[in-house]
Amino acid sequence: MFRELEILFPKVADSFFELNDLPYNCGATEYYDSEDSITYKFDLPGVLKEDVNVDTEESFIKVTWTRNTPNPKPKLTSKKYGTFTYKVPTTTSMDLDSVKAEMKDGILSVTISKTARKKSIKVS
């Protein structure tokens, strides 16, 4: 039974994450929402900051990174190697000109400022 699950699960996980454009091989991903900004944090151990790109597009922010296969290649690994993409949908409350990205200790932080909210003004 365990062997059957071991064979089946990667196929199910691959199709699920492929359909949702979520790379399950990036490690943990966290989302923070404060009053003035939104921050995404990606665990990318073993990825150099030179191998990470953050691009803004009209309806999403695209984070792309490459995890290179080590030399010599390991006999057994649970890591995935290659180029991966994570797309973060954007909203009208995000200021895409303010996107900042920082890589520190294998964690990529992408912060997006929120645009000023409209206030109701009393007519005098």
Domains within the chain, CATH numbers bracketed: 25-113 (2.60.40.790)
Neighbouring-strand partners of residue 64? 53, 85
pTM greater than the 0.95 cutoff: no
Q: What's the pLDDT tens digit per position in 70-105?
A: 889 888 888 888 898 888 888 878 888 889 999 999
Neighbours of 10 (CB within 10 A): 11
Q: What's the pLDDT tens digit per position in 3-29?
A: 444 444 444 444 434 433 444 455 678
